Structures are given as structure tokens and as C-alpha cells.
Amino acid sequence: MDSPNSTDVRDLISDFLDCFTILSQRFQLYGRDHPRTRESWAALDAIRSRLARALPSRVEKLAIACHNGRFYFENAPLRREPQQALLLKRCFEKSGLGGMLVSLGIEEAALKQVLGQVATGKTRLGIESPPEGFRWMSSAEIHRYQDGHQGELNVNAVLSVADVPLQAQVYNEAMTALSSFNKECSAGRDAGPDAVAQAARCLVEAVLSHPREILPQATAHYYAEFMLYHSVNVSILALSAASLLTRDPGQLELIAQAGLLHDVGAALLGEQILCKDQPLTEEETALLMEHPEKGARLLQSISGLHPIVITAAFGHHVKGAQGYPRALSEYQTGPVTRLVEIADIFEALTAYRPYKRAITAPLAFLQLYAEPSLARIRQYVDLLAQAIGFHPVGTKVRTREGEQALVCGHVEADPQRPIIRLIVVSPDGDRGLGCPQEAACGDLSWSKPAEDAKVVVTAIDPLEDLKRAEETRDSAAEPARCEPAW
């Protein structure tokens, strides 16, 4: 039996869409009792069972979006596009639908009704007596749907930088290269650095040529590969900051590799530690604190890796008496390691983990500036803020008037002045973005917005509604594991 986190959920969604489309075609061509149709039924049931195990218990329905010929799940494009789902894409395009909401426990009779709609192209909103457990959704509905309940407007990839083809292509190439590298290391085989080096080159080219189109992607805490997302995000953050100091591709490629491989030791620990949502035991904590040294030793055994990459793996948690592994007082860490360290902490604070919620970027920067052990390297925090802004591109914000907006840029050389576009919703539910306009940050405790600022914004917690509900429900429960990201 697969472990709950053994497969990336979005890959299973791709399999689901492929099998769903094939079954609709066979159901129409052969009828329900043909061996090929029964074979497709069994395959779809198997995928649904795997999804039920891979998703959190509270998730009973899948909200899958389709936009510009691409499928999205949980605010991000599918890493692997379904190869057999062309018919389903055409249904969305012809009908103008935004997506579909399907229950994992949908009954066979209801599913047959949906399959007939897909096979005949009769997918539309407002169908009388829709089948129980399934609903076609408009663009407005699919964007409001989040984590199994109707919450406030949820700006997802359809309106964010993740919709840029370059973003998906480069990001997925880095994920694939890093995943292959980690698997070879886990199996004790020689993991050549060529694929990771090529992924680093692609990231550098993308950051230098399109700095606003290559940004970290959000991670959901139940993705088995959140360590891959974390490492790619750290690489992108470190690259974005370093590109303000140098445009030399060779130097930037080393920084990209350092970010990609900094946590290779942690990636080898296994899900029983990385995905644990309860406090770690003393033994587990000791194993976790060994990951920098183990990762560095592993990288030392691979020919062709630059010492800077190995040093970043070893030293990104070294902070004298407060960090790990313990090092001599004379031990000096270089600027690449320190830059990777800051990117590592920032990403960990702003990403979901099985044992903690994500926090907004302004709050993450506040913690970075307030942490005493980071005071000596505060210039790297400044550099990251200068590169991505206190409200990074793609951040959902709210104005003082209560309007919601999306950050699409920053005034040059001023990370406290984001450029936003208001989210406009028409009476019939269609969404769009208003004209770009300058704004001021209203959630920076160390700086007040200028008195003449026309628009003042604060970052929105993407799970604020769900958080309130869970805090009420779990108020008497034992506190979950909580520990500093550093």
C-alpha cells in the first residue's frame, strides 16, 4: 500500500484526467460492459483510491481548473500535462467553463452521466438535476473554491505569474533534475551532477532574461515532494538576490546549484521525519540536525561539484552556538552560503509544512530582521528584500478600503512600494485585473506608509478563513509541533 505522501498529488490528478477522458470515450463507443470499458473503470477506481490516500482526510472533493489549454490544481499548473485529455480540454473551451468539482466518492451512476456529457460535448452550467458528487464550474466559482469549502475570492495561478509558460517549463525541469538526483543518492548509486548543472543554467538564463516571470511556487503541505519545491524555491530566491550583485552566468550557476542541493541531506531522511505533524522525538531531532553534514559528505563523493556547493550544504544552518552542526569558532561561511541560508529561512517561513502554517512575506521579513542570530548577516536580508520586495510579485493583498489586488511589480529600487492591479469581478462573475497602480506597504512594523500614499495594502493570509475555522475546532487540542524555521 502506498504511503500517504508517496506520490505527488498533481501527478495523480494528471492520471485521473487521462483515465477520465479515456473512459468517457470507451463508454460512448463500446458501452459499459465491454472489456475495454471495464478495464478503464478499474483504472479510474484505482486512481481515486490512491488520491483518497494521498490527500488529507478533510479533502473530499477535487476542484480542477482549466485555463488557456492548461489544467490547474491547488493554485498551480499540473507538473505533467495529461496526454489523453484533449477531448476534455475541448469541452472546457467550447462551453467556456472554468473547471469541475468532483467528489472522490462519486457513485458509478452519477459518473456515467458525466461521462456521457463529456463524450457528446454537452458540458454546460445549469444542467437540470446535476449528478450527485459532480458539478461543472464557472471561472468565478473555480477561483473561489478552496480546500473543500467556499471561501473568499482566491486568486490562483490563472491570474498569477505561475500562468507564464516560461515559469512552468523551467520550474518543472529543475524539479525533474533534482528528483532524479535525490533518487540516485537514496539508492546509493553515483548521481552525476550534469542534470542539476543544466537545470541551474536554465534557471540563471530565466532569472536574467525574465526576472519577474520566474518566482517561487507555493507548496501544499501534503505534497510528498515538498522538499523538492523547497530546494527549487530557495535556488530561485538566492538567484534573484544575487543577480543584483552580479550578472556573471558562471557565478550565478554556482549559486543556483548551491540552492538546489543545499538540503540534499534532508531529502534523504524520509517522510516519517520530514512529514511528521507531531513533535519530533530526541532521536528524530538528532537525525534531522545531522542532515547538513551528511549532505556535504554525500556531495563530496560526487566528482565535478564546486566546493562552494558543498560548503552551502554544510554551513547553511551553522550559527555558532545556536546552529548546527557545531563548528569551530574560527569557521567562516562565505557569502553564497549566507545567501542560501537567508533564502532557506524565508522559504520555510512562507511555505506550508505538515507541522505549521505558512506566514505572509512581510511577517517573514519581520522575523528575519528580528532574529538575533542573523544580525551579523542582515545585509543578505536587505538584498533579498530588494530583489523580491516585501510583497513579492503574485502576493494577494487587501487595500484599506477592503478591495483585493494582486502585486504585479515594484517601483524600481523601493521594495516598500509594490505595483498592484485590483481584482475586478463583473456582475456575472467574470474576473479581471485593473490597471497597474503604485501602492504603499501597510504591514511593515518598522515603517509607516507616507501620508500622501493614495493606496495602502497589506498581505492576505491565503488560509485565513480555514485558519479561523480550524482554530475554533482545535482550540482544546494538543499544540502541534512548532519550531523555528532556522
| Tens of pLDDT, residues 339-359 | 999 999 999 998 877 777 788
CA distance 339 to 216: 16
The pLDDT tens digits for 307-329 are 999 999 999 988 765 678 776 56
Helix (H, G, I), strand (E, B) or coil at 321: strand
- The answer to the question of residue 295 being in a domain is yes
pTM: 0.71
CA–CA separation, 279 and 273 (whole Å): 10
pLDDT single digits (tens) 34-84? 899 889 999 999 999 888 887 766 567 787 888 767 787 765 667 777 888
Please check whether residue 419 is in contact with residue 485, taking contact to mean a CB–CB distance below 8 angstroms.
Answer: no
Judged against a pLDDT cut of 80, whether residue 129 lies above it is answered with no
Which set of grid coordinates corresponds to residue 371?
532574529
Can you tell me which residue has the cell 542534470?
A: 195
Are 258 and 335 spatial neighbours (Cβ–Cβ below 8 Å)? no
In this structure, the answer to whether residues 140 and 168 fall within a common structural domain is no
Peptide bond into 335 cis (omega under 30): no
- Asked, for residue 170, whether it belongs to a domain, the answer is yes
Give the residue from 141, 145, 172 showing the smallest Cα distance to 11. 172
Indicate the pLDDT class of residue 114, thresholds 50, 70 and 90: confident
Query: Which one is predicted more confidently, 383 or 428?
Result: 383
Domain boundary among 311, 339, 359: 359
Indicate the residue type of 478: E
CA distance 140 to 423: 12
In this structure, is residue 455 part of a structural domain?
A: yes
**What residues are paired with 419 via a beta bridge?**
409, 438
Which amino acid, one-letter code, is at 484? P
Query: Are 404 and 343 in a shared domain?
Result: no
For residue 219, is pLDDT > 60?
no
Residues 121 and 239 in one domain: no
Task: Using the predicted structure, report yes or no on whether residue 138 has a pLDDT greater than 60.
Answer: yes
Average pLDDT over residues 447-460: 83
Q: What is the DSSP letter of 414?
A: -
**Tens digits of per-residue pLDDT, 398-424?**
999 999 888 888 888 789 999 898 887
The count of other CB atoms within 10 Å of the CB of residue 147 is 18
**Residue at which a domain ends, from 301, 333, 359:** 359
Segments forming the whole domain that contains residue 442: 396-466
Q: Please check whether residues 268 and 327 belong to one and the same domain.
A: yes
User: Please, what is the average pLDDT of the chain?
Assistant: 79
CB of 70 closer than 8 Å to CB of 32: no
DSSP state letter for 452: T
Query: Within 13 Å and on the Cβ side, how many CA atoms surround 453?
Result: 18
> Is pLDDT larger for residue 122 or for residue 365?
365
Q: Is the pLDDT of residue 143 over 60?
A: no
Q: Is the pLDDT of residue 264 over 90?
A: yes
Lowest model confidence (mean pLDDT) among 108-122, 142-156, 281-295: 142-156
Q: Are residues 78 and 119 in the same domain?
A: yes
Contact 384, 241 (CB under 8 A): yes
Element (H, E) at 35: helix 35-54
Virtual torsion, Cα 222, 225, 226, 229, nearest 10 deg: -140
Task: Give residue 58's pLDDT.
Answer: 54
pLDDT of residue 277: 73
What values do phi and psi take at 356, rounded to 5? -160, 160
